[in-house]
Structure 1
Amino acid sequence: MRKLENKVAIVTGAGSGMGKAIAIRFAKEGAKIIAADINSERLESLEEEIDNFGGTVSTIITNVAKEDDINAMVELAIASYGTLDILVNNAGIMDSFEPVGDVSNKLYERVMKINVEGPLKAMRKAMSVFLPKNEGNIINICSIGGLNAGRAGAAYTASKFALVGLTRNTGYLYSKSGIRCNGIAPGDISTNINDNIDLGKITAMTRDRILAGVPLSPHSADSDVIANAALFLASDDSTFVNGEILVVDGGWSAY
């Protein structure tokens, strides 16, 4: 039997990278997918790919910075499949490695709204489904940047440290309610998250203090390694894992 047979899963940022890999892997394991993303063309491509192998998917344009979009995403799961079992908060954005002295209000607020507020509001909405049935599973895609302070700029680092704390807090507080909440901390994964980095803002400090550590990563990995980790956390293979952050970085952060 497939590991997620008849489960209903929401995946944000499902149009590309880790979100796409997770949505496809979950669908192949029998889950019914609500694929949420801000890009309609990417969603159409994902839908076609899942349809081609006989998977079940519904797509929805979602900007996780907007609470109405988040609510609509969860409501679509209920309307389409009658429930929600798994929430994967994957959507996120990067900064341009700005140290705190260079962070603008606009950048900080945007990063926090997408990387922290979006997951929090999605989790809060999902609780309205999870709590009545005493069952639910949340997986937050965090980052080794939320465990180590020198992997990104101040805004991204702050957002991912906050998401790690939110993940652990939720896992602990709801552990007697049949709800699990875990995170994955990816290392160097080949995705399009770096597309929004403004290379013109890379400074001598960035090159000296942040980019100098990049060669310590053994190699870049593809998004399937994160999908494998997410499947473990979503399935019954991890029933006693809760409030944990699973590092998937090939040993980079062990240095």
Structure 2
Amino acid sequence: MESYVGYTLFKNGFPVSYGGSWVFGERANFGINIFESFRGAESGYTFCQLLRVFKNTFGVLFFEVEPYQFGLGNPEGITSGAFWFYYHYGFRPMDKALKKLAAFEKAKINKNKSYRTRKSILQQFTESSMVLKPSKKIPLSLPSVTNKITSMIETQFGGDRDVAINECTRLFEGQTKIRHPLNQDQQNILYEVALVSKALRITNSESLTLLAKMIDTKPIDLYGYQQLLLTFLKKVNN
């Protein structure tokens, strides 16, 4: 149900940065690469503006950066101390122990400007993703939904995904007014929302209608689809 949103950022007609984000409701798994010629003082400004765009355009309130971005399997990320770039702009390790270690290291840096975090510690930080969450509320994650689908398939359909898809689709079509025929993209989304509906035990008509609308909307309108998904997830969380 997530959407990949890629981007290229230009300044005065020249590409400055590229990357993308997997967006799922109010959450986004965010990636950025700033071309070397443009790294420096404006990097932070560029980064913050991109976050602002994703927040204002897609309603993202929870940003996650995977360890590769700051060093896992990425020696340049360790050498450049990329962890501290994200830390400076509010990102913190998801792991509580690493979050505490980072705060300890930051206190050392604040006390002694010449202090540099050891590479071994920077590598240790890559054991956890970093997140930026302006609110204490943690939005529903995609894995939490897919785990429920997997559990449902195992317990109710003997682990047979094809049988689960067929049965959930039949049930969903009986609950909603799906117009046929569907193209391949629409059919794939029908399978997705049917599984979600069954796994999350969706029965109210308003939520079912939102899921049904996604079938036509997602293939052609990313922004419209995101609004449908945001509305649906808020109802699920309430």
Does TM, scored on the shorter chain, surpass 0.5?
A: no
TM-score normalised over the length of structure 2: 0.31
TM-score normalised over the length of structure 1: 0.29
Relative contact order, higher structure (CA 8 A, sep 6+): 1
